[in-house]
Amino acid sequence: MKTLIVCTSVSHGNTRRIADAMGQVLDARVLDPDQVDVGGLFTYDLVGFGSGIFSMNFHPRLRQFVRSLPRGERRGAFVFSSSGLPEPGFRPYTRGLVRLLEDKGFQVADTFACRGYDTWPPFKLVGGINKTRPDADDLHAARAFAEGLLTRTRTGS
């Protein structure tokens, strides 16, 4: 299965570490949106899209990249993020990115989220939160998520 991971990780490299763990399992390159050849994107069977969460949304560069994609034939996709806090029920930003991808013809197989070291200004005052995250358990969970994607693709479920 030919897989690519598109990742914007600007704050502490938290999401990039998650992407690299998934990339090892999926044998996938991890690229910043600026490095992706949009025309070639549709040669992949599966594309992952991830970033940190900023002001309750995926990074604007990742969202802009997805918005700029032409509508293509149906391809597999997955979405992942790292954030200081869990996604609030009143602001389902993962669902928003999934919908955007679906509008572009992607079929989103699954989503993954974990905590990351967070120095958002209010938390910076106390030295940040989640200082050790993503940790070994988070990376293990990211690899297990990627294994699940592989299994699902093999069994067609």
**Which residues contact ligand FMN by CB under 6 A?**
9-16, 52-56, 82-85, 116-120
Of 128 and 148, CB closest to ligand FMN: 128
Question: Cβ of residue 150: shortest distance to ligand FMN, in angstroms?
Answer: 24
> Minimum distance from CB of 91 to ligand FMN (Å)?
8
- Beta carbon of residue 36, minimum distance to ligand FMN (angstroms, whole number): 17
Q: Is 26:150 a contact under the CB 8 Å cutoff?
A: yes
17 versus 77: smaller Cβ distance to ligand FMN:
17
Amino acid at site 67: R
Residue closer to ligand FMN by CB (options 30, 146) is 30
> In sequence order, what DSSP letters do the residues of 56-105 get, joined into one string?
SSB-HHHHHHHHHSPP-S-EEEEEEEEESSPPPTT--HHHHHHHHHHHTT
CA distance 135 to 28: 21
